[in-house]
Amino acid sequence: MHDVHDAPAPRFRHAVVTGGAGFLGSHLCTALVDQGTAVTCVDDYCTGSPDNVAHLADRPGFRLIRADVTEAEAFDVPDPVAAPVDLVLHFASPASPADYLRLPLHTLETGSLGTRNALALARRHGARFLLASTSEAYGDPQQHPQSEAYWGNVNPVGPRSVYDEAKRFGEALTTAEAAAHGTDTGIVRLFNTYGPRMRGYDGRAVPTFIRQALAGEPLTVTGDGRQTRSLAYVDDTVRGILAMAASDLRGPVNIGNPDEITMLDLARKIIDLTGSRSTVRFIERPTDDPAVRCPDITLARGKLQWEPLIGADEGLARTVRWYRAHRAP
């Protein structure tokens, strides 16, 4: 039996996670706390919720602050993160089309002003900084699968541009910060991630399909359903993010699951997993919706020794179980 003092010291002592009360951010906070890292979670609740981190409220070193990272005073006097910080994870941003189309200016400001403020915090503390960028940086890609060297195919004035360009600007700002100030920065480009704590009405395919299937409603597939996505279970994505944080790579580095699935096949799979009698209903496909999306993870495999371990059947089954347990009566 090992003494508790035999446990390895955490890689980071104190992490600040912006957007930490969101879907992905809350899983990151949990993983860090489990590793023994003190965590300050900063969120304005525009799409996140304190309920997502309620299970951490009594854990040692965890603190939840309601603040808008686009405002300079979010990290200012009295400094809510005065204790030395050695990791800043900038994950604040509306991330689903339903949210960023509802909050277009806030999305752009979070990617610009919010990134600047989070970078300034990292610089002040000499901390490692990690930007959550996105596969949306590739737009509707003309290279398949997408490698980090691909510059993308983005409509800068299309409806999705508020998110795509906010993240692309965040990447440029993060890169410039490292060059100008020597700040230790990294960029991860996250592909579609799913799992427990996604909101049923957030507009993304997995929670939408599960919510509809459990309610016995038709599953609304856009277009002809032949467009593809590559879906990573949240535990795999979190492992990749933390591997990147612990490295000295600048990036960008793709973190995603290269197993592609069409939206129609995803709908059918969820109907099977839920045992639902739902049918499929085709609806209009959104403007600039990418036809394909699949990460080339050669870099993550080689430099981070990371790859996804949880297949779609297992990940979706876990997610369905969570939705069944958390459905409102």
Residue of 100, 138, 163, 323 marked active site: 163
Instruction: Classify 238 as helix, strand or coil.
Output: helix
Q: In which order are the strands placed within the sheet that holds 128-134?
A: 62-66, 38-43, 14-18, 87-90, 128-134, 185-190, 253-255
Give the DSSP H or E segment for 208: helix 205-215
C-beta separation of 75 from 40 below 8 A:
no
Give, rounded to a whole angstrom, the gap between the first and last alpha carbons of the chain.
44
| Residues in contact with 182: Cβ distance below 8 Å, sequence separation at least 6, in sequence order | none
Q: What is the dihedral of CA 104, 70, 150, 202, to 10 degrees?
A: -50
From 8, 12, 13, select the one nearest 242 (Cα to Cα). Answer: 12
Compute the distance between CA of residue 164 and CA of residue 118 in angstroms, rounded to an integer. Answer: 19
Q: Is 233 a catalytic residue?
A: no
User: For tokens 């949306």, what's the residue?
Assistant: 136
- Reduced to 3 states (helix: H, G, I; strand: E, B; else coil), residue 71 is coil
Sign for the CA dihedral angle at 173, 112, 291, 207 comes to positive
CA–CA distance from 242 to each of 60, 66, 201, 236, 313 (Å)? 20, 24, 28, 10, 24
Task: Tell me which residue of 32, 39, 92 sits closest to 67, measured CA to CA.
Answer: 92
- Active site residue ranges: 163
